[in-house]
């Protein structure tokens, strides 16, 4: 439940970290928490937003360490550790999106999600994506955005999936460096753990491979899918 209160052990499990890692984050005062007497607790809604933004801003070394930890705990979802073929198909990719504003890209990406027949409530997803973007933009330097809803209730989707869009002209979507964005992922996961791992996997692909350039040079949706599946293969082999 979104209002759920987590203990140190539970938040460590949720974030794929050790309890000692959480203790260190508490000492650094960088993780949102509350005190109930002498007990430290965490609100799931706050941890969800904090964790996703932390992953998007991790430097390469920290991202590699976190990605390695999360990879060991998602085998039930994907025994071979490959996420992209599980979440993305060619019909979930639009290589020529005509969206020209922040509002229209959110709407158009959700329209694509609705066509998967895996989405429970289109209006609810739009609202939750907008709430997430209001907290802090998911646009990153390099022309990439990793959009996702603020919360990840299982009722929202019948199964986890991902949408990818490439706009004909870049859109100013709120990247910290002020650069426009032309590649948009929409990550829709039922399981919070898969969601965090998916963000870590996408960030790893963008930092360590030529994926962004390959996606921009791809001539079709199928070619874009081939590019992302191919980019993931060496990342998986080293796990």
User: Out of 3.40.930.10, 3.40.50.150, 3.30.428.10, 2.60.120.650, which CATH number does the structure's domain 84-237 have?
Assistant: 3.40.930.10
pLDDT above 70: residue 21? yes
Joined together, the tokens standing for residue 59 give 């430097």
| C-alpha span between 162 and 93 (Å, rounded) | 9
| C-alpha span between 41 and 59 (Å, rounded) | 27
Tens of pLDDT, residues 138-160: 999 899 999 999 877 777 898 89
Which pLDDT does position 65 carry in this prediction?
A: 81
| C-alpha span between 226 and 232 (Å, rounded) | 10
| C-alpha span between 159 and 53 (Å, rounded) | 23
Side-chain half-sphere CA neighbours of 169 within 13 A: 7
Based on DSSP, count helices (H) and strands (E) in the chain, helices before strands.
Answer: 10, 8
Residue 228's DSSP bridge partners are: none
pLDDT above 50: residue 2? no
Element (H, E) at 170: strand 161-171
Higher pLDDT, 132 or 239: 132
Side-chain half-sphere CA neighbours of 206 within 13 A: 25
pLDDT above 80: residue 59? yes
pLDDT above 90: residue 172? yes
- Give the pLDDT mean for 68-95: 83
Q: Where are the domains of the chain?
A: 5-56, 84-237
Q: Are 202 and 185 in contact (CB under 8 A)?
A: yes
Question: Quick one: angle between helices 8-15 and 19-28, nearest 10?
Answer: 100
Q: By three-state DSSP, how is residue 37 classified?
A: coil
pLDDT above 50: residue 1? no
pLDDT above 90: residue 109? yes
């Amino acid at each position: 439940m979104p209002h759920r209160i987590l203990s140190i052990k539970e938040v460590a499990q949720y974030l794929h970290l050790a309890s000692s890692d959480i203790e260190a984050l508490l000492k650094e005062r960088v993780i949102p928490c509350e005190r109930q007497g002498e007990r430290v607790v965490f609100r799931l809604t706050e941890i969800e937003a904090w964790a996703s933004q932390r992953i998007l801003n991790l430097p390469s070394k920290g991202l590699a360490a976190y990605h390695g930890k999360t990879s060991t705990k998602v085998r039930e979802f994907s025994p071979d550790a490959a996420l992209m073929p599980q979440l993305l198909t060619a019909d979930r990719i639009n290589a020529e999106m005509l969206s020209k504003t922040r509002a229209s890209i959110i709407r158009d990406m959700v329209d694509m999600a609705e066509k998967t027949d895996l989405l429970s409530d289109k209006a609810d997803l739009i609202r939750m994506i907008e709430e997430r973007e209001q907290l802090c933009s998911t646009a990153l330097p390099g022309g990439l955005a990793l959009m996702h809803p603020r919360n990840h209730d299982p009722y929202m989707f019948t199964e986890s999936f991902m949408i990818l869009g490439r706009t004909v002209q870049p859109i100013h979507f709120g990247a910290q460096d002020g650069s426009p964005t032309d590649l948009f992922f929409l990550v829709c996961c039922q399981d919070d753990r898969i969601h965090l791992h998916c963000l870590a996997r996408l960030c790893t692909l963008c930092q360590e491979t030529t994926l962004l350039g390959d996606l921009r040079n791809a001539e079709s949706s199928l070619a874009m899918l081939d590019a992302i599946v191919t980019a993931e293969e060496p990342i998986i082999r080293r796990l």
